[in-house]
Amino acid sequence: LLHIADSIEAMGPVWAYWAFPMERYCGRLQTGLRNRRFPWSSLNEYVIAAARLDQVKLRF
């Protein structure tokens, strides 16, 4: 959390570069890591489920 102030000072406004949206996306992906033995398969299932849910939201 301490790196945020340094990043804003060095690079300017948050909306001008990609670091914080990428961190938000990585934090969202961390919720999909449920299995420590097979992290890639659980992450794949999470991403596919999220994509399906987004498609349902767009359709209905």
Q: Which residue has the tokens 């914080």?
A: 20
Which residue in the block uniquely carries the two structure tokens 């359709």? 59
- Report the C-alpha gap between 6 and 26 in whole angstroms: 20
The answer to whether the CB of 46 falls within 8 A of the CB of 52 is no
pLDDT of 18 above 70: no
Lookup: tokens for 28: 């969202």
Mean pLDDT of the region 10-18: 74
Diameter of the chain by CA atoms? 43
Residue 4 has pLDDT above 80, yes or no: no
The chain-wide mean pLDDT, for the chain, equals 86
Number of structural domains the chain divides into: 1
> Which has more pLDDT, 52 or 1?
52
**Inter-residue long-range contacts of 50-56, CB under 8 Å, 24+ positions, other chains counted:** none
Predicted confidence (pLDDT) at residue 40 exceeds the cutoff of 70? yes
**23: domain range?**
3-59
